[in-house]
């Protein structure tokens, strides 16, 4: 569990068909997104006690760069989705962090990154804790335990976690109404847009 106050940023970029809704856990401040056309809507939270100014290097989680978790139908094949999404997410993350002068290094990196692609379907109000940490249902590491509510539809959520010494210090989450059956060019564009908009909030500016 991360102690201390966390800051949240949220942004909507017009021009995309889907609506991305960032789900934060235990947010100290909530900034309302500007109304407008459907588009990317992202949020990030971080540990204010962590010194991001000293971060120079990063690496993927040695236990695995990321995971795909699905709760839509019994026929879902997580591995098929992972093989499609992983190269796009990893390439986009590496490019965005390189543009921020962060070096990819497996030798004692300052931060380790893990991504999660969560796909779910439903129509009723659910608690945020059912889909995000610390509930182990999704298998995500804990950040803070607060429960919030949201309405769930067919959605795809991209979570980016940056950790130091095994503790999550920065998290960005983008949730969207999305059909994974969309054509590959559209899926790729949406994933790249989500990564880009999330990492615009890193490093955080307190």
| Residue range 17-70, pLDDT digits in tens | 322 322 322 222 222 232 222 355 788 889 889 999 999 999 999 999 998 887
Q: Give residue for tokens 């249902």.
A: 137
Of residues 162 and 119, more confidently modeled: 162
- Domain membership of residue 142 as a residue range: 8-199
Cα distance between residue 155 and residue 20, in whole Å: 9
Cβ count within 10 A of residue 21 = 21
Q: Report yes or no on 2 lying in a domain.
A: no
Strands 111-120, 57-60: pairing kind: parallel
Q: How many domains does the chain have?
A: 1
Q: Token pair for residue 124?
A: 């009723």
Residue 35, pLDDT score = 26
Q: Report yes or no on 205 lying in a domain.
A: no
Q: Report yes or no on 204 lying in a domain.
A: no
Of residues 133 and 49, more confidently modeled: 49
Of residues 103 and 134, more confidently modeled: 103
Q: Report yes or no on 90 lying in a domain.
A: yes
Residue 54, pLDDT score = 96
Mean pLDDT of 120-149: 45
Q: Report yes or no on 24 lying in a domain.
A: yes
Q: Report yes or no on 3 lying in a domain.
A: no
Report whether the peptide linkage leading into residue 177 is cis, meaning its omega lies within 30 degrees of zero.
no
Residue 160: CATH number of its domain: 3.30.160
- pTM listed for this prediction: 0.69
pLDDT at 180 over 70: no
What's the pLDDT tens digit per position in 141-170? 665 433 343 333 456 788 999 999 989 899
Are 118 and 156 spatial neighbours (Cβ–Cβ below 8 Å)?
yes
Cα distance between residue 176 and residue 140, in whole Å: 19
């Amino acid at each position: 569990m991360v102690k201390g106050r966390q800051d949240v940023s949220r942004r909507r970029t017009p021009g995309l068909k889907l609506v991305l809704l960032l789900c934060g856990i235990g947010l100290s401040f909530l900034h309302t997104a500007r109304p407008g056309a459907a588009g990317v809507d992202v949020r990030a939270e971080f540990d204010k006690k962590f010194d991001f100014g000293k971060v120079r290097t990063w690496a993927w989680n040695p236990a695995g760069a990321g995971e795909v978790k699905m709760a839509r139908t019994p026929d879902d094949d997580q591995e098929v989705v992972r093989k499609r999404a992983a190269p796009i997410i990893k390439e986009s993350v590496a490019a965005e962090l390189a543009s921020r002068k962060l070096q990819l290094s497996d030798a004692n990196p300052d931060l380790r990154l893990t991504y999660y692609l969560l796909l779910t379907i439903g129509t009723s109000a659910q608690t945020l804790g059912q889909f995000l940490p610390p509930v182990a249902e999704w298998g995500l590491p804990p950040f803070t335990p607060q429960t919030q509510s949201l309405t769930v539809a067919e959605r795809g959520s991209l979570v980016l976690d940056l950790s130091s010494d095994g503790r999550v210090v920065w998290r960005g989450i983008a949730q969207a109404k999305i059909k994974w059956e969309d054509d590959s060019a559209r899926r790729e564009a949406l994933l790249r847009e989500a990564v880009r908009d999330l990492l615009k909030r890193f490093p955080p500016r307190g």
